[in-house]
Amino acid sequence: MIRFSPAETRASEPAKPPALPIQPADVIAPAAPAEVAPPLELMSTAEPIAKAKSAKPRAAKRKAPAAEDAPQFELDA
């Protein structure tokens, strides 16, 4: 069985630099708070519903053609 002394194993590892303490100047202080936006005004429920409903009904959505309905083209090389 081979045993290594702590001096041999530590010599192969790179030395780590000591950790530097954080200085108060390194910490970024938050800037002054931005202007606060005015509170939103709430509308009664009847107005938004009336605006959301359109006089003209929506057109039906087009469906993609089925795979078997798509034309198959054969390329002659």
pLDDT beyond 60 at 8: no
Q: The whole model's pTM is what? A: 0.14
Instruction: Please tell me the predicted confidence (pLDDT) of residue 17.
Output: 72
Residues in the chain: 77
Question: pLDDT tens for residues 49-60?
Answer: 776 666 666 777
Tell me phi and psi for residue 35, to 5 degrees: -60, 140
How far is residue 26's CA from residue 20's CA, in Å, rounded to a whole number?
A: 11
pLDDT beyond 70 at 37: yes
